[in-house]
Chains A and B, each alone.
Chain A
Amino acid sequence: MLEPISIDIAGLNLQALLPMAILTIGALALICVDLAVKGLNRSFLTMITILFIVLDFGAVIGYKGDVRGFFDVLLIDGISLIAQVIILVASALFLPLSMSHRHFREFKMAEFYALFMFMIVGFQCMVTSDNLILIFIGLETSSLALYTLIALHNRAKAFEAAIKYFTMGALAAGFYGMSALIFYALTGSVEIHQIEQVLQERHFEPLVGVLAATIFMVAALGFKLSLVPSHTWTPDVYEGSSAPLAGYMSIVPKIAGFVVAMRLFEMLVASGVVWLEYVLYAAVVLTMTLANITALVQEDVKRMLAFSSISHAGSMMAAILIGTTQANTALFVYWIFFLFTNLGAFTMLWIVRHRENLWDERYQHPYTKFSGLVKIMPMTATIMGIFMFALAGMPPFSVFWGKLYLISAAINSDYIWLAVVIALNSAVAVYYYMKLVVYMFLHEPVTIDARLYATNASTSLKVIVGFAAIVTIFSIAFVEPLLQVITHYVASSGF
């Protein structure tokens, strides 16, 4: 008969599961409570979800334990801790955007919050593992939850966006599976550190196999990170989903994807095989440049922000291409600042949201909507202007520091051309961000009815915008300590 299997509980490192367990329990509890109690209040649901996110945050911050857990499936190293902190902070800041002045159907449903928590669990699994299977399951869990969240926004365009995202996501999942399969067939393992070991022993032979696996992986992760040429879904999906989710999508799935890309591609770039580097180089330069050029001709602010987030993701891939500790630190610092700036910009769009497309038949937030805003609502226009300046990378606002550090990392490791491309692209990007500022400050207003611009404003939204603005403006004070902490964690995990 079956012989008993004995497993050492202490060796499992169950503590490593605590962060994911907290949110899973929270989500399950929320669904059960919703079954018993009908008509739970929107603010109650938001607060309870944030409470669980804060508990999770505590578990992540206070984590002291082995790096490996659960038969080496989990890997909790420095970059996974930083990534989890970014994911949780972003989630806790984007979720309260549900407390807008207008009531939306999806924010009354307990399922929305439960799916939101499941989504965070998925992202956490993605970043706390170097096992291709667990990464895949985390990726799919979070993606499935995200598709549903997008479609819950009760607009025809939201369905279109969700279905587009789902179809492209299914294709990317297929690519991911293909790539993992080839890696497994090549090396007999699905764990990235073992794949690296075996490939290095064999000097990356057979090369054509590694090439095939890399190309499929670039396609799969490139979809999540919206790298050219798999970026085409981004503007449509952002336009279709509500502003809070669009902003969320521009930050959190990408940081999870970057951590996976960092674990996988840096081992490939370090192999010294030249074309592996060229594949990534081409993806990085194309993503930054094409996205910037397309952003120039956009007529809608949300679509412009979508293309701008693609271009920012391109410069992040540059950090992964460079692959030094400084570049990886730059990636996280850049993304933290980008988080707060994008949070502000998308919250502003959420505040000025109006049920009908008053300004343009096709777009919800055309540039003309904002013309002369400074004469109607000077405060709103100024804050929006600050976020645009920050996104354009102007000193002393937040994103500038990330860019500066990234470019210096590129120069330090002799990627002069890459540094030039990043700098040129920032110069191009200034044009489309400033276009909005010009509309707001130099054009004549089309309407003088200020209420049209504040239909969705509420105290909690204003608090979040204020917080984002403060972080954006006074970022100079945080740069040094942030750099030190992140450099410590990144270096400790060997990246």
Chain B
Amino acid sequence: MNDFLFIFLSFFALLGAFGMIVLHQPVHSALSLIVTLLALAGLFALLNASFLFAVQIIVYAGAILTLFIFIIMFLNVKESNLPKEPNKTLYLFLGGIVLIPLNLLVLRAFYAMPLLREPLAEDFGEIKPLGAELFTKWLLPFELISLLLLVALIGAVVFARKDEV
């Protein structure tokens, strides 16, 4: 059952990612990305990472992708504004071929990984141990991410009000 679910979810994750690159309309690409993110949430659930499963659905599929689609619709991109992409299939195909050695390397690396032997802790993947980790050992990186977001925010605001100055 687990294997079947894994293959099923992986298939949709790959299909969504493929669609995101191949589809011409930005809205279609964004919708296709939602499929990938939902499938990934399912994969997290298979790994018993309940918190990541919830976050993946609420934050990624729920909030971020909604924002993407909202912005794409807000910009109201016309068919004539989209870039022409002649030979897109050819380029994608060639790019895929170029990346094959890299993919093989990663694949072989993952097959050679040492496996985890000990059983997992009882509360693995729940929110409490994760929060405790984040607010003790990883406090500094966690707080620095807020700085990172602040930088991105300031940058966005500066560009948005650019023409007024």
Q: A5-B132, A105-B165 are in contact. Are A31 and B144 (CB under 8 A)?
A: no
Chain A residue numbers with a CB within 8 Å of B135 are 5
Kindly identify, within residues 148 to 165 of chain A, every residue whose CB is under 8 Å from any CB belonging to chain B: 148, 151-152
- Which of B114, B138, B148, B152 has the most C-beta atoms of chain A within 10 angstroms of its own C-beta? B148
Kindly identify, within residues 2 to 52 of chain B, every residue whose CB is under 8 Å from any CB belonging to chain A: none
Q: What is the distance, in angstroms, from A218's C-beta to the closest C-beta of chain B?
A: 12
Interchain CB contact under 8 A, B137 and A71: yes
* Chain B 128-139: CB-based contact to A (< 8 A → 1; otherwise 0): 100010011111
Kindly identify, within residues 198 to 214 of chain A, every residue whose CB is under 8 Å from any CB belonging to chain B: 206, 208-209, 211-213
Name the interface size band of chain B.
20 to 34
Interchain CB contact under 8 A, B158 and A144: no
Give bound CA distance, A133 to B157, whole Å: 27
A185 interface hit (Cβ, 8 Å): yes
Q: A134-B144, A137-B141 are in contact. Are A118 and B150 (CB under 8 A)?
A: yes
Interchain CB contact under 8 A, B109 and A213: yes
Give bound CA distance, A73 to B148, whole Å: 17
Chain B residue numbers with a CB within 8 Å of A182 are 106, 109
Interchain CB contact under 8 A, B106 and A178: yes
Chain A residue numbers with a CB within 8 Å of B114 are 186, 206
A114 interface hit (Cβ, 8 Å): yes
The answer, among A109, A118, A178, A186, for a CB contact under 8 Å with B165, is A109
A59 interface hit (Cβ, 8 Å): no
B interface SS class: helix
Interchain CB contact under 8 A, B136 and A71: yes
Q: What is the distance, in angstroms, from B110's C-beta to the closest C-beta of chain A?
A: 7
B100 interface hit (Cβ, 8 Å): no
Interchain CB contact under 8 A, A152 and B132: no
Interchain CB contact under 8 A, A5 and B136: yes
Give bound CA distance, A366 to B152, whole Å: 35
Chain B residue numbers with a CB within 8 Å of A404 are none
Closest B residue to A207 by beta carbon equals: B112
Chain B residue numbers with a CB within 8 Å of A351 are none
Query: Which residue numbers of B lie inside 8 Å of A, CB to CB?
Result: 102, 105-106, 108-110, 112-114, 128, 132, 135-141, 144-145, 147-148, 150-152, 154-155, 157-159, 165
Query: Which residue numbers of A lie inside 8 Å of B, CB to CB?
Result: 2, 5, 7, 17, 24, 31, 70-71, 73-74, 105, 108-109, 111, 114-115, 118, 121-122, 125, 131, 133-134, 137-138, 140-141, 144-145, 147-148, 151-152, 178, 182, 185-186, 206, 208-209, 211-213, 215
The 5 A-B residue pairs with the shortest CB-CB distance, nearest first, are A206-B112, A148-B155, A212-B109, A209-B109, A71-B137
